[in-house]
Amino acid sequence: MEISNTLKLYKEKIELRLRSFLDEKIAEAEKISNSSKEIMEFIKGFNLRGGKRIRPILIIMAYKSLGGKNDDAIIDIAVSAELMQSFLLIHDDIIDDDDLRRGGPTIHRIYAEKYKDYNDPKKFGESMAIIAGDLLASLGNEIISESDFNEKKKLKLLQKFNKVVKLTGYGEIIDILSGLRTDMTEENISKMHRLKTAVYTIEGPLHMGAIAAGASDEQLKILSEYAIPLGQAFQIKDDILGMFGSEVKLGKPADSDIKEGKKTLLIIKAIENADKEQMEFIKNALGNKNITEKELIKLREIIKKTGSLDYSQHLAEKRVKKAKNTIKNFGLNEGGKEFFLGLPDYIIKRDY
């Protein structure tokens, strides 16, 4: 099957279960209080607004490629990854002061808007969004613990779920500090990509699917060797889209990385190879919350002229190649092999 068809098929299944699970939670919350119901409705809206569903799909594909047969149970595990994703995005959006996510307002903005007549609606919105994230972390654990796998597997899955949350947190800290530090190196960035993206977006989901299928430690190790370079390539691509992509397709502004002063590989490499005037321009642009469209265009030019865009693109391709080589001799069934060999190119070529 074409990879985009596989993605589409599972995306629908995942969204169906995500919807039914969150509807159950809304019904449960309604018995508690109006405010509980309200927050669960906002959470549902946020979860169903879209997203590529790449993590849950990886869970399902890893599971089926390694011989897993319980189609209903694995959907619950897949949904847990989507709940984790929303949990982390909601907290991330507070941290980054972002107003827009998946083409709609962020949770803290939804609350700030709805309660705008109250004293300090911004603060109020952030408070509610902190709790919304915490609730989603709890729901992610809940859906795993109630899934139709045996106790031993569920326990292993919960361990993995919480380990991914922990490592992603560590990656997020490096990411926030990168906005403050002046000494970020390619190595720091690589570490951050490993924690914040590779573990969280690729390795964690593949391991969860594999654990559910009863994979051995050796199999998990090989999956890591595929997942880590692929995840790092995924993040490089994300950074490129964050600088050169279209706001409509991304569902968020294409200048937020710059405004937050994030030192992506694109920025680091451009600085390394910049002349004095270019260097000055980059430093003034980074973290400038009032950067103009014209200045952004010039910054993009500098990133191209210094060879930094090429460097990032080549590095991403190199890692994709490494990932593909790992998977070639791995004991997956035919459909699985096709999917995992196709995925890296799909990731590198996406435009959102």
**Shortest distance, position 39 Cβ to a copy of itself, whole Å:** 6
Site for a copy of itself in 255-294 (CB under 8 A): 287
For residue 190, give Cα distances in angstroms to 109, 166, 169, 297, 323: 32, 18, 16, 26, 16
Helix (H, G, I), strand (E, B) or coil at 105: strand
Residue 150's nearest CA partner among 213, 63, 206 is: 213
One residue of 11, 70, 114, 115 binding a copy of itself per CB under 8 A: 115
- Kind of pairing between the strands at 100-101 and 104-105: antiparallel
For residue 320, give Cα distances in angstroms to 36, 192, 291, 331, 351: 44, 18, 33, 19, 17
Q: Which is nearer to a copy of itself, 115 or 346 (CB)?
A: 115
Per the CB < 8 A criterion, the answer to whether 312 and 265 are in contact is yes
**Shortest distance, position 148 Cβ to a copy of itself, whole Å:** 13
Task: Report d(CA 193, CA 143) in Å as an integer.
Answer: 28
One residue of 24, 71, 95, 335 binding a copy of itself per CB under 8 A: 95
Instruction: Tell whether residue 176 is a contact of a copy of itself (CB under 8 A).
Output: yes
One residue of 165, 241, 279, 296 binding a copy of itself per CB under 8 A: 165
Number of chain positions touching a copy of itself (CB under 8 A)? 53
Task: Report d(CA 257, CA 254) in Å as an integer.
Answer: 8
Q: Pinpoint the alpha helices (H) of the chain.
A: 3-30, 34-48, 54-65, 71-95, 107-114, 121-145, 151-178, 186-193, 204-212, 217-244, 247-250, 256-259, 265-273, 276-285, 293-305, 308-328, 334-349
Class of residue 279 by CB neighbours under 10 A (exposed 0-12, middle 13-18, buried 19+) = middle
One residue of 3, 14, 29, 75 binding a copy of itself per CB under 8 A: 29
The string of DSSP codes covering 39-81 is HHHHHHHHHHT----HHHHHHHHHHHHTT---HHHHHHHHHHH
**Shortest distance, position 343 Cβ to a copy of itself, whole Å:** 27
Q: Which is nearer to a copy of itself, 29 or 78 (CB)?
A: 29
Q: Which is nearer to a copy of itself, 120 or 345 (CB)?
A: 120
Instruction: Tell whether residue 180 is a contact of a copy of itself (CB under 8 A).
Output: yes
Instruction: Tell whether residue 167 is a contact of a copy of itself (CB under 8 A).
Output: yes
One residue of 73, 77, 137, 254 binding a copy of itself per CB under 8 A: 137
Q: Which is nearer to a copy of itself, 42 or 226 (CB)?
A: 42
One residue of 158, 220, 296, 341 binding a copy of itself per CB under 8 A: 158
Instruction: Tell whether residue 352 is a contact of a copy of itself (CB under 8 A).
Output: no
One residue of 11, 19, 30, 36 binding a copy of itself per CB under 8 A: 36
Q: Which is nearer to a copy of itself, 119 or 329 (CB)?
A: 119
Contacts to a copy of itself by CB under 8 A: 29, 32-33, 35-36, 39, 88, 91, 94-95, 97, 115, 118-119, 123-124, 127-128, 130-131, 133-135, 137-139, 141-142, 145-146, 151-152, 154-155, 158-159, 161-163, 165-167, 169-170, 172-174, 176-177, 180, 191, 195, 287
